[in-house]
Structure 1
Amino acid sequence: MTTLAAPSNWFRRAELWLDGYGKPAWIAAMVLGFILFWPIGLALLAYMIWGKSMFKSSCRKSRATGFANTSSGNSAFDAYKADTLRRLEDEQAAFDAFLTRLRDAKDKAEFDQFMADNRKRRDTEVAETSPMG
């Protein structure tokens, strides 16, 4: 029984390793398989299409973004969800405005520091070049 578990374990480790690098790693492995020995590339292609549900993540993303626009069938929950989403959007807008004010204040402080340093440098140059006494 150990001899049967070893190839399965090796295959599972390879699968997890490729999953860690995402779709580009699977595609690179498939291309390499076609280059080395075409049945390997063909097997990887078939596995990617039917075994791995390669397009599952894109479907999951579209379902997640569509959640905000779908109705649950319960008007009270839908009203609560709409109110919560509206509140979160308002909080995000307020936070964005806060960050803008913060960046503007930082920019002004940096500019004021530059002007003060520039004025100090200019006054020093004038004092060094002016003939006194």
Structure 2
Amino acid sequence: MTPTPTATHTMPRMGWFARAEAWLDERGKGAWIAAMVFGFIFVWPVGLAILAYMIWSKRMFNSSCRSRAMAHRSSHGFKTSGNTAFDSYKADMLKRLEDEQHAFETFLERLREAKDKSEFDAFMDERADAAKSSEDA
């Protein structure tokens, strides 16, 4: 079972500010207000900066920040095109790419483990040789 694409799948490609903004947008206006209040409590310039950003980006006056998060997701190709054949092809292609990515990551993990094992074996051989030469001396 593969997870459905969400905004969190694209988050590693974004900067820390964009990730924080997307995270707060997914949780709605209450999360923005809570972040602003905590900003004022702990470091007042941070709270002031969040308030200014909320007013500047019109998040303070919108009915919901979630609509912006949904628009963000649909702009990355997760929205249906209306053509069922294309949507099916796209879903199959995305699944195939995710499977290939998983297989490649598994291969890299096995490669790292093999490298670690060979380095450890070389270390143990060197240690055994050193112990053997110290016994002979």
TM-score normalised by the chain length of structure 1: 0.53
Q: Structure 2: where are the runs of 5+ without partners? A: 1-15, 21-35, 60-64
Equivalence map 1:81-96=2 (5 Å): 81-96=90-105
- Say which structure, 1 or 2, has more relative contact order (CA 8 Å, 6+ apart): 2
Alignment-derived partner of residue 44 in structure 2: 31
Alignment-derived partner of residue 122 in structure 1: 131
Matched, 1:59 2:69: yes
Judged with a 3 Å threshold, the aligned counterparts in structure 2 of structure 1 residues 100 and 126 are, in CA distance, closer, same or farther, namely same
Partners of 2:46 and 2:111 in 1: how far apart? 53
Judged with a 3 Å threshold, the aligned counterparts in structure 2 of structure 1 residues 32 and 107 are, in CA distance, closer, same or farther, namely closer
Alignment-derived partner of residue 72 in structure 1: 81
What per-residue deviation string (whole Å, max 9, x for no partner) do you get for residues 8-27 of structure 1? xxxxxxxxxxxxx958xxx6
Partners of 1:122 and 1:87 in 2: how far apart? 52
When you count helix as a share of all residues, which structure comes out higher?
1
What per-residue deviation string (whole Å, max 9, x for no partner) do you get for residues 7-64 of structure 1? xxxxxxxxxxxxxx958xxx67993499xxxxxx5xx83x4323224569x7268625
Partners of 1:103 and 1:65 in 2: how far apart? 37
Alignment-derived partner of residue 54 in structure 2: 49
Q: Percent identity?
A: 37
What per-residue deviation string (whole Å, max 9, x for no partner) do you get for residues 80-113 of structure 1? 1111111111111111111111111111111111
Matched AA of 2:44: V
TM-score normalised by the chain length of structure 2: 0.52
Matched, 1:107 2:120: no
Partners of 1:127 and 1:108 in 2: how far apart? 28
Judged with a 3 Å threshold, the aligned counterparts in structure 2 of structure 1 residues 102 and 64 are, in CA distance, closer, same or farther, namely farther
Q: Which runs of 4+ in 1 moved over 6 A?
A: 27-30
Q: Which of the two has higher C-alpha Rg?
A: 1
